[in-house]
Structure 1
């Protein structure tokens, strides 16, 4: 048997020679002085040799341990050389399987189940917040502290909700890698409990005009009842509260065929306490633009024989579901980015920016009137809801013109599918009314 002293004392000779140990372990001494550990064994009737390392990096004791591990494989009917080669190849593949590679594979595999906007948002968030920090790391090398470092960097800029969404996406990537056998744990799984809580406050809203138009386009291209699409468009144009839109009745509209169409929302349907709802002349006046009237014109063949503009799918005497528009926005990929109530914030932000550059005196107060906001210094009875009507019409037109740029005609929206492709529609939608159509005028003159 060999000893450490014999191994260290072995000198180079003109030709290679062996110093043998027990159980076929030997040290190969080369003419250049290198000393290599080898183990000789027979597998499937063939004589083979397994390299175990170089002395002194691998000591005699370590070489014997490696030999014993190889003998166990041999007793299991496995060739130690093949096992070593496969292990090396697997480890090499694992080291090459970076987080960015895993994330891109996961995204490509999953995006068909998402709306295009959402799929783009997912990969964009990873490219912006994750890949620069951990994209080149092998997934097996990443641990919870490293993932937390990425998420806390997102929190540091105030994007608390984004940090939570990114954590979910990172976790999904690790689940995908685990399923492929290239990771064993998900280091992001438990990190949700240590992230900052989301502060409850303003509802999410897109307040950039170009993004807002893009969102409307995306939502209107998704499957939905035509009534829901038209409700979304009218909500965006009028910036009323979603519940005020859901309960809209045809007899609340005046002069739809004339020059000054108007929507008179009764005080009883407005937000406020019982005093506000019972207040005489407390209705909210909404000047209707040509774009808004065009929505009503497209809607008339669908619900003109009902009291409500937007009745429910099952009960025509009840308003549409309060979640219908929100679900449409979510399906289009805008969950957490914009809610139906967000059109009011969008109108306020965009129009206040516009009046700052191009507006007149009192335009900010006019915008508040258009949103049915009551100034803090005013009491209900002293608040003139019919004030500044000519200017309100002008600002409503400016808003409608800006918002409608690039949007299709409302009549197009009733022709789009109400259900996902492949599902049979319930019934054929009525054709839109002609350009010479005249609304009945049951209400008061504007």
Structure 2
């Protein structure tokens, strides 16, 4: 039975110390001398540990329970509550020092209005997924440079070197935000880039360049056990040749005339790397993917929601991770489908260079031509989209079949 203030107050000393349990691992230890000490039992890494919170009546029952809840929340994030206590973050009855997660969310809230919505969502999602579980619950003074580097190393080992560097910047910006706001503190991520895996400066993302190899890549990825949403997103990415972020952030309202003669995907400017809307004529295969993804998405606005939170887009690493698991790390990346489609189509249809560039949302390289040539080549782009889809998916399962294949 949980403790009450009366029970705590009336507890008497005995010849040997004894415990009076409360709940959730919290108990009151009464010493032979009559002292009353609050303690919490917990397990971490399979080992049982004991956390001392302080004595009664300096710490009330309510304050002890609050500290217990803080300790349990830290443990769920993989942080040892004892580390929080050493840093002064477990102070029953007092406001704890700011943790990295609290500060990072404050920084994000201030900066997000100046960013495009999909970028703001990506920044927060990357921190929630990669960083908060490791250092999010720690107070800022407790976080060291090696701790941050260890968190980033885990991202690098998956082959996501670019993401690791972006995360370092985001961590650093959060610390600098706190320093500017409070006038004290330090930035343990400031110079970490020197210890990280360098970013490939070639500007070329790995991509296969033949239709035969492209089919092998897609087929191998789709045969792996995976979440249906990830497989469908990969197929739509390969069919439409848009950027991965544009697929991940796709909203159901962006698609029109799916049952008509001119099914189209209109990607608004705020989700593009330009100030213009990108109009994507859809092949019949792409329409099948959109319809199947819509069925799976249910009532949510996103076509490819996160597997954990329906209101968040699919993780920015999900498609790339699937391709890495299929064995194509270093040979082909999610963004590489654009190079693949462009190479194959330009080799076969060199006279359609302008139409193919528009399929990729690339404007004319000549600024004078860009100013005067407003042709969108939509009819030819629709034909090319269907040609590309027919080549890529010949003999392969339809969208419904890949959505119902083995899950991970």
Which one has the largest radius of gyration? 1
Structure of greater relative contact order (alpha carbons < 8 Å, 6+ residues apart): 1
